[in-house]
Amino acid sequence: MQCQYAQTTVPALLFAKTSEDTMASTLEALERWVDEVAALVRPAKIHWCDGSEAEYQALLGDMLADGTLVELNQQTHPGCYLHRSHPSDVARVEHLTLVCHPDEIDAGPNNHWMDPAAAHAKMDALFDGCMEGRTMYVIPYCMGPIASPLSRCGVEITDNPYVVANMKIMTRMGDAARERIEREGDFVRGLHSTGELDPERRFIMHFPAERTIKSYGSGYGGNALLGKKCHALRIASNQARDEGWLAEHMLIVGIENPQGETHYIAAAFPSACGKTNLAMLIPPEGYRQDGWKVWTVGDDICWMRPGADGRLYAINPEAGFFGVAPGTSGDTNPNALASISHDTIFTNVAVTADNQPWWEGLPGTPVTDWQGRPCDPANGPAAHPNSRFTVSARQCPTWSEKAEDAQGVPITAIVFGGRRPSLLPLVMEARNWTHGVLMGAAMGSETTAAATGAVGVLRRDPMAMKPFCGYHYGDYFRHWLSFDRPGAKLPKVFHVNWFRKDGNGRFLWPGYGENLRVLEWMIARAQGTVPGRETPVGILPGAGELRLDGLDLGRAALDELLAVDPAGWQAEIAAIGEYLEGYAPRLPPALHAEQQRVAAALNPPPLQAAAG
């Protein structure tokens, strides 16, 4: 890399940036760690990232020069570039992702585990000399607004400039983060190398007790952008348990009513359940005319902490979107499409004849597929199904300035959801916090033949955190339950299912912007303005409580969407109990008791005959 700002010695750069000798002691841990890494990986040179626009443009220029990036049509997509990854390196690798607690039981059955000493030895052998001839980039970054007490900092060391450019977009990266690390003296350590991109030499290791991540052999986002799932969820979930907060795989969306009041909702969904669409929802026409607005705070990760008033306050620790491109269109998510019209890095998408990015669902015709080959249907989809875009969240038309609030936004409702073609109603409210935790612990989605080759396979994914919870799920459920304490003013908890189908396999609910109707009911429940309808499985909308004007939805469809089948639910709650037993003996007794309470409510004792 031809950079005037590259440095070959660490201490010289560090102390050049600090005029006070007293600052040196706060840098000791960082300096020592960088020196240790440099001695292990033996780079040709070291570059400390400052997060400036000049630095970013220099990185782009060098990657364009060496073919790491391809320039897209600058008239239609100014500032946009394409990256093609190795065909064997296109997604997260969960079977190679390990959580290395000192005691295996602490990782739980929900994680792959390795003894920390053995894991360090394995990874250090891979890292030995891996950066010879390469630049070692040191990336100080902050997850969350720089001034927020809810934010946490980290430093990623990598040899991949594509990773640096993405971290620039996805985090608050550079001098401001380094200065916060200097003040606090605490940071998560992340070491990454692209290595040889050999799937047999690819591991992503997490050391929660040490607040350390080591990733080798991949350049894909979730494996290489260590601020994302690795820090923001796997390591942060452990930090959150230790410090009394929550690190969750949730969007954050603000719903502003015609009176100018904004209620913030955090929602967790497994993949393919409309998470980004909900975060960037466009209200139906009638709602827009009435003055309803939707504000996007975050589309993927939410950190929540109790405030002095007992409410939960949330920040989005990320500064950008690392979104799935296929399925993003003017019909499904026009706000996302508008966001990525400029200054975006695309990964593994196809390209049209006039050099525009393309994926299935967009108009136009691709000529080159995601591997750079001429398009041929025999080779599969033109864009990889997991192709991505990386873009600043500020480019979203509905981005909220509250995303930069140091105190975070107060959460009115927490929503869980999944893709279930039957049984689960459109929306139901938990009777209390413990019931809400049970709803989250039981959530999951049923797969389709197109996705897995088998129809109706239910995959449980508690709180949408199964690939990301950095410790035993039983302990995680216990941590959630611990927030129900005297003085707490906790959000209402709901479960939604946008995907219920009729007998002909057609979706009963139109979804997308119409989901605002359901969110409006949740807010009304939180404010106590509608009574709802009590059922054994939760509180559902009562007659006339869902606003349906302007919606072509028959009474029969609505009844089916809100139906509760006792026999089906008896089987469901029994299956939930069996699933949760897999986390015994660490399953909290309160959660087991709540499952038993719902089961009993679904099986009321027969009425005794009156004595005669």
Q: Is 273 a catalytic residue?
A: yes
Residue type, 192: H
Tokens found for residue 333: 């998510």
Q: Which residues contact 468 (CB under 8 A, 6 or more apart)?
A: 229, 233, 234, 237, 249
Strands (E), 462-567: 492-496, 533-535, 538-540
Q: Which residues contact 122 (CB under 8 A, 6 or more apart)?
A: 114, 203, 205
| Dihedral angle of Cα 166, 167, 170, 172, to the nearest 10 degrees | -150
CA 86 vs. chain centroid, Å, equals 24
Alpha-carbon span 71 to 237, nearest angstrom? 38
Please write down the HEC assignment for all residues of 340-368: CCCCCEEECCEEECCCCEECCCCCCCEEE
Choosing from 273, 302, 396, 469, the catalytic residue is 273
Reported for 602-610, long-range contacts at CB under 8 A and 24+ positions apart, including other chains, are 602/536, 602/537, 602/566, 602/569, 602/570, 602/573, 603/570
User: CA-based Rg of the chain, rounded to a whole angstrom?
Assistant: 25
Residue 181's nearest CA partner among 149, 207, 209, 142 is 142
Residues identified as active-site: 273
